[in-house]
């Protein structure tokens, strides 16, 4: 699968130097994929080498949000070259099927997809590899925590109590699986009027802080709800690449710098579970 050498995660066709980040949420609709794409693009803008695995096999949306148009290139049956856009290498089911095509797979095939995305892709030398997980605590999240034990879980939530309660289950699952929690990002923290600048806390306040405290982790940032983020995401233009002065872009850059400035040491006592042994 991979091994830890010289404080790097050595993959079959590349390496990860600074961080393997699994972006998770308890429920859909909280903007997890938008956060994943903009965080990846932010890290790339900060001169980091970045990749994304769109692990939400059934509900993939990363290709549209990041503006991916090129297909993955198959070298042979066991090797894939990922397309790159906005300085980020991306692999997704959207690279192989149409956006409107359903992926009707059960657990074993999901495991195979994760295996192929990690083992068969020519990632090259990366600083960070982000995984956009499906919502909840299902098969894919469990597989990643078991088979990629060096992945840190980054939890995305809105301030709403119903969202933070469900997101908390993901955090507790990570704790039980001995998966480190990187922190919490509170998305849609408030709506800011473009005309008057007034802030309206549509989904309430304090949910992100409460969740971070409950999980004994850090609140990495609060992202405002801005129409441009949704609009540009639909157009395949992550806001951090086109409007660095936007309040949400500034928040992403603060989060990105916070991540980059951490000191990373991969735990050599952890080892990934072999896919074949788990089948």
Q: 140-159: per-residue pLDDT in tens?
A: 778 778 888 999 999 999 99
Banded pLDDT at 101 (limits 50, 70, 90): very low
Answer yes or no: are the C-beta atoms of 198 and 192 closer than 8 Å.
yes
Report if residue 245 sits inside a domain: yes
At residue 2, the pLDDT reads 85
For residue 214, pLDDT beyond 60? yes
Write down the pLDDT at residue 60.
Answer: 81
Residue ranges of alpha helices (H) inside the chain are 32-45, 62-66, 107-119, 139-147, 161-176, 207-214, 227-234, 239-242, 247-260, 275-278
* Residue of higher predicted confidence among 40 and 27: 40
Please give the Cα distance from 110 to 108 (Å, whole number): 5
Residue 270 lies in a domain: no
In a domain, 266, yes or no: no
How many C-beta neighbours within 10 Å does residue 83 have?
Answer: 18
CATH code assigned at 105: 3.40.50.300
Rounded to whole angstroms, the Cα distance separating 94 from 54 reads: 9
Q: Are strands 124-132 and 8-11 parallel, antiparallel or unpaired?
A: unpaired
**How far is 227 from 213, CA to CA, in rounded Å?**
30
Q: Is 159:186 a contact under the CB 8 Å cutoff? A: yes
Count of beta carbons in the 10 Å neighbourhood of residue 174: 24
Share of the chain above pLDDT 90, in %: 57
Local confidence band at 193 (pLDDT 50, 70, 90 cut-offs): confident
Most confident of the following: 83-87, 111-115, 134-138, 170-174 = 83-87
Under the banding of pLDDT at 50, 70 and 90, the label for residue 96 is low
Q: Count the domains in the chain.
A: 1
Is residue 52 one of the residues assigned to a domain? Answer: yes
Query: Structure pTM?
Result: 0.91
Q: What does the pLDDT read at residue 109?
A: 54
| pLDDT, mean of residues 119-123 | 92
Q: Is 112 part of any domain?
A: yes
pLDDT at 180: 92
Q: Which two tokens stand for residue 165?
A: 């309660």
Within a domain: 141 = yes
Question: Is residue 110 predicted with pLDDT exceeding 60?
Answer: no
Q: Please give the angle made by the CA atoms of 116, 118 and 120, to the nearest 5 degrees.
A: 50
* DSSP letter (8 states) at residue 121: B
Return all residues near 105 (Cβ < 8 A) that are at least 6 apart. Answer: 57, 58, 113
Q: Which pLDDT score is estimated for 69?
A: 86
- Please state which of the ranges 40-44, 63-67, 249-253, 267-271 shows the lowest mean pLDDT: 267-271
Q: What share of the chain is helix, strand, coil (3-state, %, to 5)?
A: 35, 25, 40
pLDDT of 99 over the 60 cut: no
On whether residue 269 sits in a domain, the answer given is no
Mean predicted confidence (pLDDT) in 117-121? 87
Domain that holds residue 140: 8-261
Of the pLDDT bands very low, low, confident and very high (cuts 50, 70, 90), residue 112 is confident
What pLDDT is attached to residue 111? 63
Q: Tell me the residue length of the chain.
A: 279
Domain contains 58: yes
Place of tokens 């994760």: 114
């Amino acid at each position: 699968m991979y091994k830890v050498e010289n404080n790097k995660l050595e993959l079959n066709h590349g390496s990860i130097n600074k961080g393997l980040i699994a972006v998770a949420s308890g429920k859909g609709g909280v903007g997890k994929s938008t956060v994943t794409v903009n965080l990846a693009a932010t890290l790339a803008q900060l001169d980091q080498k970045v990749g994304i695995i769109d692990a939400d096999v059934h509900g993939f949306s990363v290709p549209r949000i990041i503006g991916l148009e090129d297909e993955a290139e198959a070298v042979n049956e066991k090797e894939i070259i990922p397309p790159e856009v906005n300085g980020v290498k991306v692999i997704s089911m959207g690279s192989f099927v149409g956006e409107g095509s359903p992926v009707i797979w059960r657990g074993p095939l999901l495991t195979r997809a994760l295996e192929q995305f990690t083992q068969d892709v020519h990632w090259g030398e990366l600083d960070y590899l982000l995984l956009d997980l499906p919502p909840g605590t299902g098969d894919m999240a469990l597989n990643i925590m078991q088979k990629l034990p060096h992945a840190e879980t980054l939890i995305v939530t809105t301030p709403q109590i119903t969202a933070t309660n469900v997101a908390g289950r993901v955090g507790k699952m990570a704790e039980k699986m001995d998966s480190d929690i990187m922190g919490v990002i509170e998305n849609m923290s408030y709506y800011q009027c473009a005309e008057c600048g007034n802030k309206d806390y549509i989904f309430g306040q304090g949910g992100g802080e409460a969740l971070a405290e409950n999980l004994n982790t850090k609140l990495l940032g609060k992202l405002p709800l801005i129409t441009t983020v949704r609009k540009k995401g639909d157009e395949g233009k992550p806001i951090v690449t086109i409007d660095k002065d936007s309040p949400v872009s500034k928040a992403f850059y603060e989060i990105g710098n916070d991540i980059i400035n951490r000191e990373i040491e991969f735990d050599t006592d952890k080892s990934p579970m072999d896919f074949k042994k788990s089948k």
